[in-house]
Amino acid sequence: MAHALVIGNWKLNGSLHLVSTMLFDLQYALRGIQNCKVVIAPPVIYLGNVKQAICDSFIELGAQNVDIHASGAFTGEISSAMLKDIGVKYVIIGHSERRILHSETDQVIARKFYMLKKEGLIPVLCIGETEAEYQEGKTKEACARQIDVIMHVQGSEVFNDVVVAYEPIWAIGTGKSAHPEQVQEVHSFIRTYITQKNANKASLVTIQYGGSVTSKNAEALLAQPDIDGLLVGSACLNIESFIEIIRLAAKQKQVA
Ligand code: PEP
């Protein structure tokens, strides 16, 4: 893959002040960086402000959620067409916080995936195992199950030009990042799994790792051949850390 992909997921954090300061500093620091795609996924209320702030840069806009419906009486929801309308390109779905705190099932996530693909947006499909599955050695099984629920209904071609974010649930927001070699093994499995079902197309899938990524552990993770990029939560709210992670991604994948 030609470019690394680093996504900053602000989750339920941010303000107009953060939008202006963070995006100003980020654009300044990233001048000259060419081989790392950077996406900012702020809370939905700031999407327009972020869009305005990044309009002269290569940074792209991401959203943290989408509804399963196209339109109608669904108070509080946002459709894929609306996200596209305001310039969003990437949309995070299947995040474990939505699966757990909002009871989103694999079927709901598959429907969101379908709505995004239909609109020409890029799903960032988060998959990963629970701590119990990890302890039982069922990581690959859990990932395959979460891929299958989409593939079996929508076909294997839908995985062309999508982002799969491998995020072990036990590693998210815990400070316990997975070991780079373990992540490599899972990413290689995911790539092969998709390839087998969709001959010669798996190289079109970008596979990110997410889970307590910091500027300290990013280099070792990015050194792994099947880690194409990083989905960064808390560390993306610290401008120095986030810039360092992006610089490391650009450097590492240039060498690769
Ligand atoms: C995430 O929210 O996807 C994430 C990986 O969070 P953190 O980096 O804080 O673990």
pLDDT at 148: 95
Q: Are 204 and 245 in contact (CB under 8 A)?
A: no
pLDDT at 200: 56
Cα–Cα distance measured from residue 248 to residue 176, given in angstroms and rounded to the nearest whole number? 20
Ligand 1 geometric centre to CA of 17 (Å): 22
In 3-state terms the chain splits into helix, strand, coil percentages (rounded to 5) of: 50, 15, 35
pLDDT digits (tens, 9 = 90+) for 93-115: 999 999 999 999 999 999 999 99
Q: Which of 95, 97, 133, 187 is catalytic?
A: 95
Q: Which of 104, 119, 167, 244 is catalytic?
A: 167
As for how many domains the chain has, the answer is 1
Rounded to the nearest angstrom, the gap between the alpha carbon of residue 33 and the centroid of all alpha carbons in its chain is: 20
What would you measure as the largest C-alpha separation in the chain, in angstroms? 51
Length of the chain: 256
pTM given for the model: 0.95
Range of the domain at 96: 4-255
Give the residue, by CA position, lying nearest to ligand 1 atom 8.
233
Half-sphere exposure of 106 (CA within 13 A, CB side): 14
CATH at 215: 3.20.20.70
Is 187 one of the annotated active-site residues of the chain? no
For a ligand 1 pocket test, name from 5, 6, 11, 98 the mutation site with the most ligand atoms within 8 angstroms of its C-beta. Answer: 11
pLDDT at 203: 57
Ligand 1 geometric centre to CA of 226 (Å): 19
Q: Which 3 state secondary structure label does DSSP give 166?
A: strand
pLDDT at 119: 97
Closest CA to 91 of 127, 124, 118: 124
Q: How far apart are the first and last CA of the chain?
A: 9
List Cα–Cα distances, 241 to 103, 218, 245, 246, 252, in angstroms: 32, 10, 6, 9, 16
Q: Does any ligand 1 atom lie closer than 6 A to the CB of residue 9?
A: yes
Is 136 one of the annotated active-site residues of the chain? no
Atom in ligand 1 nearest the alpha carbon of residue 92: 3
Residue ranges in the chain whose pLDDT is less than 50: 256
Ligand 1 geometric centre to CA of 200 (Å): 31
Rounded to the nearest angstrom, the gap between the alpha carbon of residue 174 and the centroid of all alpha carbons in its chain is: 18
| Cβ-proximal residues to 227 (8 Å cutoff; 6+ apart), any chain | 180, 183, 184, 187, 207, 208, 209, 221
pLDDT at 211: 97
